[in-house]
Amino acid sequence: MTPTRLSRSISLALIAAAPLSLASPKPALDLSPEARVARVLAGTPLIDGHNDLPYELRVRSGGDPIAAHLEIDQSTLPVNKDRAPLMTDMPRLHRGLVGGQFWSVWIPASITGAEAVQLTLDEIDIAKRLIAAYPKDLESAFTAADVRRIHRAGKIASMIGVEGGHQINGSLATLREYYALGARYMTLTHTSTIPWADAATDVPKNHGLSPFGLEVIHEMNRLGMLVDISHVSPDVMRQAIAASKAPVMFSHSSARALDDHPRNVPDDVLQLVAAHDGVVMVNFAPGYVSEDLFHWDADEQAEKTRYNSPPYAGLYIGQPERAAAALAEWHRKHPQPKATLAQVADHIEHIRAVAGVDHVGLGSDFDGIEDTPVGLTNVSCYPALLAELARRGWSDENLAKLAGENILRVMTRAEAVSASLKSESPVLQVLSDVEH
């Protein structure tokens, strides 16, 4: 038995024992939270909405998944002082009881035009070669039915999501080709506003979506590609939900009521997501989880600017040693807050309270974030999060919804909408010179 299969076998052994527990005088509710989670995830694939491993493979191993040795638990490798270990590998995916993964295809928002398209194609190729390199662990999935079939076979259903509308270069034909290559969602923007949609973390220019942006959403509906509204402005969130014939997703966003970060989802939008049967997949990025940390990050950046802001400003401009010493003293007086697994659970519970349990999922952002919450350090940790919720009173049925049933419902509905639009011809429109 290979190491990558060991944890899944242990989990199946736990599940096999569950009927004995149910047959005995001891009630099922007396099972440990961990055993309950293992039982739930045997029947429902745990699906993560967002993992940035393909880009990390690009920068660490030239895009070669074999050279990355993902058959090895990366946390056991010798320490590299210049680079933290990967958060994702095959042994820990299996220990985390992961049943499905959207692999993010991301390129920097600063790269646009034809170069953005080429780099996106390159990264789709990395994702596809990653899946092919580990056939005992991963298998490509294109539909909700594929995900369930692959999970039953004991493998991880692997899907692709394109993380930014700038990556289509204003071309619906390019969007269609991404879908043909396996992409099953596209995030409408990344960190920068684009000609047809406003980003959450940039100056708005469109008051939401432009007419071309609405065409993009319709074409995604026609294809069966999920509309992902993580990273977009609140106006785009609201307009995209209203425009889409299929339920939308947030692939990796948390609750703004708990952390007033622009990347998170306001309560009124959570209510709209519920009304239109979508799903919000909660992000683990510490600054989106802990409001204390979000504020600390802003304060730290202000201090850095105060001490050294080339070329003309800063108390210690041209004196890097004094600037470094001053910043070190500030750090001593202002220790960095830590986000925690319990706070991620708080975001999940808030979204459940506002939108309902049918509209929440998991979107870690592993290998796309520099740090992680305490207790959620890598892809082996999902069962610990679900066990925390089990201890808070979540039923097995609701844990299954969070883990994967909700996003599978959204995928199934998007497929049905696509089927209803199959008689429509592809729209040939490209972004006009005016909108560029």
pLDDT tens digits, 362-372: 999 999 999 99
Q: What angle do CA 95, 44, 42 make, to 5 degrees?
A: 50
Q: Domain tally for the chain?
A: 2
- Are 247 and 278 in contact by the 8 Å Cβ rule? The answer is yes
Q: How far apart, in whole angstroms, are the C-alpha atoms of residue 361 and residue 283? A: 9
Q: How far apart, in whole angstroms, are the C-alpha atoms of residue 282 and residue 73? A: 25
Region 229-233 average pLDDT: 98
**CA dihedral in degrees (81, 84, 89, 92; nearest 10)?**
100
pLDDT at 1: 40
- Are 198 and 206 in contact by the 8 Å Cβ rule? The answer is yes
Q: How far apart, in whole angstroms, are the C-alpha atoms of residue 340 and residue 266? A: 21
pLDDT at 26: 44
- Same domain, residue pair 298 and 247: no
Q: How far apart, in whole angstroms, are the C-alpha atoms of residue 330 and residue 216? A: 47
pLDDT at 241: 98
pLDDT at 22: 38
Q: Confidence band (pLDDT; 50, 70, 90) for 428?
A: confident
Q: How far apart, in whole angstroms, are the C-alpha atoms of residue 76 and residue 73? A: 6
166 is catalytic: no
Final residue before a domain boundary, out of 337, 369, 403: 337
Region 192-219 average pLDDT: 97
163 is catalytic: yes
231 is catalytic: yes
Region 369-381 average pLDDT: 97
User: What is the maximal distance between C-alpha atoms in the chain?
Assistant: 76
Range of the domain at 304: 291-337
Active-site annotation holder among 163, 228, 259, 415:
163
pLDDT at 206: 95
Strands 360-362 and 98-105: unpaired
Q: How far apart, in whole angstroms, are the C-alpha atoms of residue 188 and residue 216? A: 9
Between the alpha carbon of residue 2 and those of residues 8, 71, 90, 379, 380, the distances in Å are 11, 10, 11, 18, 17
- 7-21, 170-184, 249-263, 292-306: segment of lowest average pLDDT: 7-21
pLDDT digits (tens, 9 = 90+) for 308-327: 988 888 999 999 999 999 99
pLDDT at 29: 54
- Same domain, residue pair 56 and 134: yes
| Average pLDDT for the chain | 93
List, as one string, the DSSP characters of 87-104. S--HHHHHHTTEEEEEEE
On the question of pLDDT at 189 being above 70, the answer is: yes
94 is catalytic: no
pLDDT at 111: 97
On the question of pLDDT at 14 being above 80, the answer is: no
Neighbours of 207 (CB within 10 A): 11
Q: How far apart, in whole angstroms, are the C-alpha atoms of residue 49 and residue 74? A: 22
Sort 41 into a burial class: Cβ within 10 Å, 0-12 / 13-18 / 19+.
buried
Q: Is residue 131 part of a domain?
A: yes
Neighbours of 269 (CB within 10 A): 22
Q: Confidence band (pLDDT; 50, 70, 90) for 429?
A: low
Taking the CA of residue 20 as centre, how many other CA atoms within 13 Å lie in the half-sphere pointing to its CB? 6
Q: Is residue 137 part of a domain?
A: yes
- Same domain, residue pair 185 and 324: no
- Same domain, residue pair 97 and 186: yes
pLDDT digits (tens, 9 = 90+) for 16-68: 444 333 333 444 457 999 999 999 999 999 999 999 999 999 999 999 999 99
Q: Is residue 145 part of a domain?
A: yes
pLDDT at 163: 98
Q: How far apart, in whole angstroms, are the C-alpha atoms of residue 98 and residue 85? A: 19
Active-site annotation holder among 198, 365, 388, 405:
365
- Same domain, residue pair 241 and 123: yes
Q: How far apart, in whole angstroms, are the C-alpha atoms of residue 309 and residue 101? A: 41
- Same domain, residue pair 196 and 322: no
- Same domain, residue pair 309 and 416: no
Give which of 387, 286, 295, 274 is closest to 46, Cα–Cα. Answer: 387
pLDDT at 219: 97
| Range list of H helices, 108-181 | 113-133, 144-152, 172-180
Q: Is residue 67 part of a domain?
A: yes
At 283, which CATH number? 3.20.20.140
Q: Residue 419 carries which side chain, given as an amino acid letter?
A: A
Active-site annotation holder among 94, 166, 218, 231:
231
Residues 6 or more apart in contact with residue 198 via CB below 8 angstroms: 189, 204, 205, 206, 207, 208, 209, 232, 233, 235, 236
Give the N- to C-terminal CA distance of the chain in Å, as an integer: 56
Can you read off the two tokens belonging to residue 394? Answer: 């979540």
Q: Is residue 368 part of a domain?
A: yes
Q: What pTM, to 2 d.p., does this model score?
A: 0.91
- Same domain, residue pair 238 and 300: no
On the question of pLDDT at 287 being above 80, the answer is: yes
Q: Confidence band (pLDDT; 50, 70, 90) for 9?
A: very low
Region 1-21 average pLDDT: 41
- Same domain, residue pair 255 and 312: no
**Sign of the Cα pseudo-torsion (290, 384, 137, 396, in order):** negative
331 is catalytic: no
- Same domain, residue pair 98 and 65: yes
Classify residue 199 by its DSSP letter.
B
pLDDT at 269: 98
Q: Is residue 8 part of a domain?
A: no
- Are 189 and 166 in contact by the 8 Å Cβ rule? The answer is yes
Name the one residue in this structure whose structure tokens are 């096999």.
16
| pLDDT > 70: percent of the chain | 92
- Same domain, residue pair 243 and 295: no
pLDDT at 436: 52
Region 259-284 average pLDDT: 98
Active-site annotation holder among 190, 261, 347, 350:
190
Residues 6 or more apart in contact with residue 391 via CB below 8 angstroms: 33
Give which of 270, 297, 429, 287 is closest to 355, Cα–Cα. Answer: 270
